[in-house]
Structure 1
């Protein structure tokens, strides 16, 4: 048993190492300013120090490479928002704003991969299906929360939860994408707060007011 298990383990480790090197190399080349669509497989393989044939063992084509890169980027983009949608919302608009800040930061960190994802999804069916699937998963999270709020009577009873979830998700994603493309970071807080207010108003109608202070007791008066 040991004679077969050990070699298999080593082979698996080597495969994982090659995959990591290729992904890291592609990400570094994009970070250097090379658009994804202009990355030749041969250059990626050479910089990752793997044979071209080895590259294709792990990634049958560049679409699969982009999907692998985008998987981590999309998870980072939506991760904090998923946490907020599943939370109790006791922190009100501030909680939404925190999630929006994290989404903006994640988009900036992975902007080249996410930009390539949006571009290639326009003509590559595999990449398009990956992107639709990830957006569909996030939509289901938001829709589940809106359904729960509808049953609890905390949102407009006329709300179309499925369409509302779709509108919120696409509005946030497109707004952050456009913002990060045109702004170097000075407007991040403004966008985060504006998106937060828009989401809260759409879901709950009005944002919560500031905490109410305890009533002051007049001097000389005793309580009951």
Structure 2
């Protein structure tokens, strides 16, 4: 007869759960190693595996090279960062600058949490083919979201008819990306709150600053 006092065995973790835990350990290890100023290209796989306390064989099973590693780490680090902006562009814009300022605050907070990794991503994207292709594709997807929203707003008469959705979407995405990256790459003396307020105001004025007057 089975013992009534014997504890139940904990449920075995699924492959997805084990992978998620593994990736989070590697993400923390990479960010810890980058935090001391070591360039990403100079961090050896052996060092990453040792810091994450994983076997090199396990590491290579998930990440065949450091480019793929950086891409996956960037996917994890930017998921919330992009989601904040995407939610605002998909929502009703009835609160003037408040909503976009809050979205910028969330993006900046996400960048601050993962700043070392995202600065490394920005650097490698300029010369690593795979990393560059990933990042350009990610930004391009966001630009398309903004373009579609601006097209809908123009069709509904919510923005000036002269506004070009494609060009405006590209300019706004580049402005936000470069502004946040520059603010974290050098000491500007600008607070996160002020950066969010200024970006939010800039976006609002570009999109709605010359919008047609509403009904009296």
Same fold by TM-score, threshold 0.5 exceeded?
yes
Report the 3-state secondary structure (helix = DSSP H, G, I; strand = E; otherwise coil) of the residue aligned with 2:199: helix
Measured after TM superposition, the shift of residue 14 of structure 1 is 5.1
Measured after TM superposition, the shift of residue 123 of structure 1 is 1.1
2: CA distance, partners of 1:42 / 1:84:
41
Structure 2 unaligned spans of 5+:
1-11, 212-216
RMSD: 2.3
Candidates 4, 7, 28, aligned match of 1:24:
28
Measured after TM superposition, the shift of residue 78 of structure 1 is 1.8
Measured after TM superposition, the shift of residue 94 of structure 1 is 1.4
Contact kept? 1:120, 1:128, Cα under 8 Å: yes
- Note closer, same or farther for the CA distance 1:133–1:127 as it changes in structure 2 (3 Å cut): same
Report how many aligned residue pairs link the two structures: 200
Per-residue CA deviation, residues 38-65 of structure 1 (Å, 9 max, x unaligned), is 2100111223333323221110000111
Contact kept? 2:183, 2:190, Cα under 8 Å: no
Map residues 135-154 of structure 1 onto 2, 5 A cutoff. 135-154=139-158
Q: Which 10-residue stretch deviates more, 180-189 or 47-56? A: 180-189
Map residues 1-224 of structure 1 onto 2, 5 A cutoff. 17-183=21-187, 186-206=190-210
Instruction: Name the counterpart of 1:222.
Output: none
**TM score, norm. by length of structure 1:** 0.80
Per-residue CA deviation, residues 144-201 of structure 1 (Å, 9 max, x unaligned), is 1101101101112122101110000100111111122334775222222221121111
Bigger Rg, structure 1 or 2: 1
2: CA distance, partners of 1:15 / 1:201:
44
**TM score, norm. by length of structure 2:** 0.83
Structure 1 unaligned spans of 5+:
1-7, 208-224
Report the 3-state secondary structure (helix = DSSP H, G, I; strand = E; otherwise coil) of the residue aligned with 1:90: coil
Measured after TM superposition, the shift of residue 107 of structure 1 is 1.2
Q: Which 10-residue stretch deviates more, 45-54 or 67-76? A: 45-54
Report the 3-state secondary structure (helix = DSSP H, G, I; strand = E; otherwise coil) of the residue aligned with 1:103: helix
Measured after TM superposition, the shift of residue 118 of structure 1 is 0.7
- Note closer, same or farther for the CA distance 1:75–1:17 as it changes in structure 2 (3 Å cut): closer
2: CA distance, partners of 1:87 / 1:185:
32
